[in-house]
Amino acid sequence: MKRTYQPNNRKKKKKHGFFARKKTNILNSRRKKGRKKLCK
């Protein structure tokens, strides 16, 4: 039997990675705040 969670790194990165965040305004708002770390 296959388990339910089959991790896929490419999918994960596409959904939650740097470039996914770059498309929204999250990064810019974090830059304005003066964050040391923008993404994980």
Coil, strand or helix: which one is 25? coil
Average pLDDT, stretch 1-22? 94
What digits encode the pLDDT tens for the residues 12-31?
999 999 999 999 898 999 99
Considering the entire predicted model, what is its pTM? 0.62
Contact in structure between 37 and 31 (CB atoms under 8 Å) = no
Q: Which pLDDT value is given to residue 10?
A: 96
Residue 27, class by beta-carbon neighbours within 10 Å (0-12 exposed, 13-18 middle, 19+ buried)? middle
- Domain coordinates of the chain in residue numbers? 10-34
Are 7 and 25 contacting, i.e. CB atoms less than 8 angstroms apart? no
Confidence at residue 29, expressed as pLDDT on a 0 to 100 scale: 93
- Distance separating alpha carbons of residues 22 and 18, to the nearest angstrom: 6
* Local confidence band at 39 (pLDDT 50, 70, 90 cut-offs): confident
Do residues 39 and 27 make contact, with C-beta atoms less than 8 angstroms apart? yes
